[in-house]
Structure 1
């Protein structure tokens, strides 16, 4: 095979490739994988950025909202309403139990003084 035959083969191959639909150039494997697969780290980074943005908007809203002082703590009106709704009714004081506890206290005091 001489050089002219080699050139003819190369030209034929180029013409055949030009006639066929253009194929996408293949990218290196590491680049393909990087484009196809969104890693869990990048998903976490996106989620963190969104959470920080939401938190800043919420903080801005809360600082501008009216606050109420309840039990020594300032809270927004929504928080105060939720706390009131969640509070359970205290059981009424049982006089027998109170008397029993006072008797225990008296007996403890008397035992302490006798032992010393």
Structure 2
């Protein structure tokens, strides 16, 4: 059987089949998928941002103070001020020791 004969047989068989049968095979089935962890997290973040926006509209009716480029209420400013840790005064001996270590590191050559 040659290729042309085989092709003719195939075309005849295809034409004999009803047209509706071929259309049903290509119908897509849509399935409802469960939400992924990422989409759940995205929804949670969107809800949290919406809640924060509502809370901000309530808070903006009170007086605000700017600290480090951030707008905070007076109560928050007091809390931030209380939480600040005073830095220890610089120890000159420690500064000299660090400078000496830097000089030593610069003098050492890397081994290849």
TM-score by length of 1: 0.43
